[in-house]
Amino acid sequence: MNAKLLIVISAIASTMMVGCASTNSPNATRNEIPLFSNGGPYAATFETHKEVMEMFDSTGKLLDEDAVAYLWNTSDSAVRVPVAGGTVSMNGTSLTLVDETANGGGKYYQNDVNFDNTVPFSTSGGSLVFSASGGASFAGLADSITFPNSDIHVTAPTFSTSISKSAGFTVTWNYISGSTNSIAIQVIGDSSGYQLYLVSDNGNYSVPSADLSAFSGNTRVRVSRISYKSARDASNRNYAMVAYTTSTIYHSLVP
């Protein structure tokens, strides 16, 4: 597990170790890994995400793809505020500024592409270039990140199979030899229960029965392959970038 990735994940869990579980709830407004939802000690975070729903067929079906950027006036978390940063784009595709400050929210940039449209920006192992032209409260910034070298495909448990709370279960996925990516596994109960595991990309992880005691109703298992980097620019601002591909399987939960 990349140590820097653990620093980012600390935004959603006060204590996190490789292979351990977090019971923090997932982001209420976005059905994705809550890596940057609450920010961190950064002046900018850039995120791109490819969603594949394995429930449709054996190879998966592209459901959604998006890019999101959060910009702040400083990387000092004690005083920073969200700001606009001019034209923000990924691989030349402009992201739209969403301003929710009037409703008590913040500002962020997003481009959301569903499976009915041409996806402009992801290729396995390809370079993704984020840039912000800059504005009155944010100096320009540009950098790139490599998308994970393969989409994630879950091989077990399969769609609609039952998960036993008393026995636990093992998640397996397409193993990529020599992968330097990280894996996030989310177990999400439709009625109650949430667990997040951060593990190495070795093809399997066993979820213990003790972690399922609070779950009820049907359950989603989401597995994500993650590429991550953080850096500091010439203005001494910290920023971070993440790219990940996600698959989701739906299951029934039995005692």
DSSP strand pairing (182-189 vs 194-200): antiparallel
Question: Hey, what are 156's tokens?
Answer: 């077990």
State how far the alpha carbon of 148 is from the alpha carbons of 8, 101, 123, 140, 157, in Å.
Answer: 18, 33, 9, 26, 22
Give tens-digit pLDDT for 98-111.
998 888 888 899 88
How many domains in the chain? 1
* Residue 143 in this model has a pLDDT that exceeds 90: yes
Mean pLDDT for all residues in the chain? 78
* Residue 118 in this model has a pLDDT that exceeds 60: no
Amino acid at 178: G
Residue 4 pLDDT: 35
Q: Which domain holds residue 117?
A: 3-254
State how far the alpha carbon of 240 is from the alpha carbons of 14, 122, 198, in Å.
Answer: 19, 19, 18
Residue 183 pLDDT: 93
Residue 212 pLDDT: 94
Residue 177 pLDDT: 85
User: How confident is the model over 128-145, as a mean pLDDT?
Assistant: 94
Give tens-digit pLDDT for 18-50.
344 444 433 323 344 545 444 567 899 998 888
Q: What torsion, rounded to 10 degrees, do the Cα atoms 175, 180, 181, 184 define?
A: 80
Q: What angle do CA 193, 195, 197 make, to 5 degrees?
A: 170
Question: Is the whole model's pTM more than 0.95, yes or no?
Answer: no
CA–CA distance, 132 with 95 (Å, rounded to integer): 10
Give tens-digit pLDDT for 195-223.
999 999 999 999 999 999 999 888 889 99
Residue 1 pLDDT: 36
